[in-house]
Each structure stands twice: as structure tokens, then as C-alpha cells.
């Protein structure tokens, strides 16, 4: 009974040391990221004299959670290495080994904390960060990019707002094909610049050409006139295929819980949801990736007590972490290009890194 209590006490101590160190490291990263992003926003807003510094500061704060989540694996790696080296430097590791504590028992609390932290990031942190990023994207589009074309996909089809010369129009389509170049069952609502309604257009199909929508079987209904039918009709537009794709929702603005439904709606509307599916699987792999970073940090931290060369081992751990992160980005890029299936592209770097870390630990611990 005493050994169980001691094991639980030791586990809580090690888990708390790891958790606090990771939080401090992550906090330092967030502070640095906030200052860098604020400077970049200030530079971008230099030509916009009407943008207040308080707005830029709030935009940087809204953008911080999403950018910060990208640095979390490094916070786990550096924080884990610092926690493990602290235990080693204080000779606590020697005492634990003398008491019969293996490396697996020593590492288990950190792995549990990393897994729970990854679960928290995916299920709670990500939805909050997505909402903040969506607001940041709206402010950036309005004040820094001057973007007037906004696209949204819902259960009722596709909605697209576009600026057209002296006015604007809202385009609704039930289906999309040709990667956004063709809309089917189209309704276009026409407005003046003062948002007064001027009419609507109903068409069977609309093909995006250079500077206009080529409508087929179109009914033109002015606000104060009778409807007229045209076999073909050209509706001016400033949209291009690139602008349509850029207006599509960024994956970072969609909550983890909403992604499956959004993927289903995007695919039913005719858009490719490969990038969103890849992002969903990447989020699911977050707890495993954080556990892999713990293994990498443990591998290099435990060796300091046996082989010496602290600086060299720390540099080795940092390089290994960056290499794993680079391979993860490379795998995601291959997934986006279609070379790898989304699930394999998102999960393979974390799983391969974990297997390699376990193999090295088995070698160091059991010879």
C-alpha cells in the first residue's frame, strides 16, 4: 500500500514539474509571438492612416491563439527537456533509479500530461481560437486588404458577396462545379452602393468568365419592371477564380466540432474539402504529436546523466524537434497536393517519431 501511495505522490510531483515548465515556456512563446505579430501589423497598416493602434493591438490578440498553437509542440519539447534536466541536475533521477523507478515510470506522468494537454487544445482551446481567428480575418479583410468578396457555404448552398462597379450583388447557388467556375441553379440579388435593392437574376447555370458571369436560361427581374427572359446573359463581375478560392473559409476559422459538418456541406456544394479534412485529422493527431515531443525530450535529457555533453545533447534534442516539425509540414504539404491520403499525411509523422523515440529509449534503458 505504501509503494502505491509513493508512486502516486511521485507521479503527481513529476507531472506538476512538467506541466508548470511547459506552461511557462508556452507563455514566453506567446509573448514573443504577440510582439512580432503586432510589429508586422503595424508595418502593414503604415499606409492606412485611419487605423488606430488599439485596433492593431486587438487584432494581434485575436490572432495570437492560432499562431501560438503552432508553437505548442516546441513548448512541450523545450519545457519537457528543461523539466527532465532539472530532475537530473538535482540528482532526483539517480535517487528514483536507486528506488527501482524505471524510465517508463519516470516518463509516464509527462506523457499523461501531454496527452491531456493535447486533448484540451483540440476540444476546448481550438474552438475558442477559431472564433477569435474568424474575427481577426474579418478585420484584416476590411482594414488591411480591402477585400469585398466574401464566400460562405451553408446547408442551403453557396452564398457569395461581390462588388460590381457602382453597386454590389449577392450570389446564391445550390451547387458548384468545375472548382468554382460553374454555378448551378443561380440567383443573383442586385443592390446599389447605398444597399437599395434594384432587382434579381435567376439562371439555370452561371460560368465565370473574364470579367462577367455567363448566364444560361436567365430571367432578369428589375425592381420596378416586368421580368425578361434571355437564353444567354452577361452579368459583370470583378471576381476571378483565385478570388473565389481566397474568399473560401480558412480552416483555422472553423471549430474542431464544426469541421465534419462543414466538410460535408462543402463537398455537397461541389468544392473540394481535402484541405479541411487534412486539418481535421491534423487536429486529431495533436495529442500523439505532443507525446512524441515528450519522448524526444526524454531521450536527450536522460542521456545527460550517463554520457555528459549537456550542450551537445540539448542541441541534438532541439534539432530533432525541428526535424520532426519539418517532416510534419512536409507530410501535410504532400497531403494537400494529393500525394498522400489525408489521414496518413496527418498521422504518419507523429506515429513514426513516437516509434523512433520508443526504440531509442528501449536501447538506452534495456540495452
Q: Per-residue pLDDT tens for 91-134?
A: 777 777 777 777 778 788 999 999 999 999 999 999 999 999 98
Whether residue 235 has pLDDT greater than 70: yes
pLDDT in tens, 30-47: 999 999 999 999 998 888
The band of 217, judged by pLDDT with boundaries at 50, 70 and 90, is very high
Question: What is the C-alpha separation between 338 and 304, in angstroms, rounded?
Answer: 42
pLDDT in tens, 310-351: 677 677 777 888 888 888 889 998 998 888 899 999 999 999
Alpha helices per DSSP H over 222-269: 241-247, 259-269
What pLDDT shows up at residue 151?
62
Instruction: List the beta strands (DSSP E) in the chain.
Output: 150-154, 157-164, 167-177, 182-192, 197-209, 212-222, 228-236
Mean pLDDT of 187-205: 88
Mean pLDDT of 57-73: 93
Question: What is the C-alpha separation between 56 and 62, in angstroms, rounded?
Answer: 10
Whether residue 304 has pLDDT greater than 80: no
CA nearest neighbour of 172 among 131, 136, 137, 200: 200
Question: What is the C-alpha separation between 76 and 112, in angstroms, rounded?
Answer: 12
The band of 178, judged by pLDDT with boundaries at 50, 70 and 90, is low
User: Which three-class secondary structure state does DSSP give residue 361?
Assistant: helix
What pLDDT shows up at residue 357?
84
- The pTM of the full predicted model, rounded to 2 decimals, is 0.78
In sequence order, the 6+-apart residues with CB closer than 8 A to the CB of 60 are 34, 37, 38, 41
Question: What is the C-alpha separation between 119 and 287, in angstroms, rounded?
Answer: 6
The percentage of the chain sitting over the pLDDT mark of 70, rounded to a whole number, equals: 85
What pLDDT shows up at residue 309?
58
Whether residue 1 has pLDDT greater than 70: no
CA nearest neighbour of 150 among 132, 178, 170, 175: 170
Question: What is the C-alpha separation between 179 and 271, in angstroms, rounded?
Answer: 6
Q: Tell me if 175 sits within 8 A of 270, measured CB to CB.
A: yes
Mean pLDDT of 149-162: 67
User: Which three-class secondary structure state does DSSP give residue 88?
Assistant: helix
- Average the pLDDT over each of 21-25, 81-85, 149-153, 165-169 and give the range with the smallest value: 149-153
What pLDDT shows up at residue 144?
82
What pLDDT shows up at residue 317?
76
Mean pLDDT of 138-164: 70
The band of 66, judged by pLDDT with boundaries at 50, 70 and 90, is very high
Average pLDDT, the chain: 83
Amino acid at each position: 500500500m505504501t509503494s502505491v501511495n509513493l508512486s502516486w505522490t511521485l507521479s503527481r510531483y513529476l507531472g506538476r514539474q512538467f506541466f508548470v515548465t511547459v506552461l511557462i515556456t508556452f507563455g514566453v512563446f506567446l509573448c514573443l509571438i504577440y510582439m512580432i505579430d503586432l510589429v508586422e501589423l503595424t508595418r502593414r497598416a503604415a499606409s492606412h492612416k485611419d487605423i488606430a493602434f488599439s485596433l492593431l493591438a486587438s487584432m494581434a490578440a485575436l490572432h495570437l491563439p492560432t499562431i501560438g498553437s503552432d508553437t505548442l509542440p516546441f513548448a512541450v519539447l523545450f519545457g519537457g527537456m528543461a523539466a527532465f534536466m532539472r530532475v537530473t541536475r538535482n540528482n532526483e533521477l539517480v535517487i528514483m533509479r536507486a528506488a527501482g523507478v524505471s524510465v517508463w515510470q519516470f516518463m509516464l506522468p509527462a506523457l499523461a500530461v501531454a496527452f491531456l494537454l493535447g486533448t484540451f487544445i483540440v476540444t476546448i482551446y481550438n474552438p475558442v481560437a477559431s472564433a477569435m481567428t474568424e474575427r481577426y480575418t474579418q478585420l484584416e479583410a476590411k482594414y488591411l486588404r480591402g477585400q469585398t468578396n466574401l464566400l460562405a457555404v451553408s446547408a442551403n448552398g453557396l452564398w457569395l458577396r461581390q462588388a460590381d462597379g457602382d453597386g454590389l450583388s449577392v450570389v446564391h447557388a445550390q451547387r458548384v462545379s468545375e472548382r468554382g467556375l460553374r454555378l448551378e441553379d443561380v440567383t443573383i440579388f442586385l443592390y446599389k452602393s447605398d444597399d437599395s435593392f434594384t432587382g434579381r437574376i435567376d439562371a439555370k447555370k452561371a460560368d465565370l468568365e473574364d470579367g462577367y458571369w455567363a448566364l444560361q436560361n436567365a430571367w432578369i427581374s428589375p425592381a420596378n419592371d416586368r421580368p425578361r427572359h434571355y437564353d444567354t446573359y452577361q452579368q459583370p463581375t470583378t471576381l476571378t477564380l483565385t478570388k473565389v478560392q481566397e474568399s473560401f473559409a480558412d480552416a483555422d476559422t472553423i471549430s474542431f466540432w464544426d469541421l465534419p459538418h462543414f466538410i460535408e456541406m462543402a463537398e455537397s456544394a461541389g468544392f473540394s474539402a481535402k484541405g479541411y479534412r487534412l486539418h481535421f485529422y491534423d487536429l486529431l493527431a495533436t495529442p500523439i504529436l505532443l507525446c512524441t515531443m515528450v519522448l524526444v525530450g526524454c531521450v536527450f535529457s536522460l542521456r545527460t546523466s550517463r554520457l555528459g555533453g549537456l550542450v551537445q545533447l540539448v542541441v541534438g534534442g532541439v534539432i530533432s524537434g525541428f526535424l520532426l516539425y519539418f517532416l510534419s509540414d512536409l507530410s501535410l504539404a504532400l497531403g494537400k497536393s494529393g500525394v498522400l491520403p489525408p489521414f496518413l499525411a496527418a498521422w504518419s509523422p507523429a506515429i513514426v517519431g513516437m516509434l523512433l523515440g520508443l526504440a531509442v529509449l528501449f536501447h538506452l534503458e534495456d540495452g
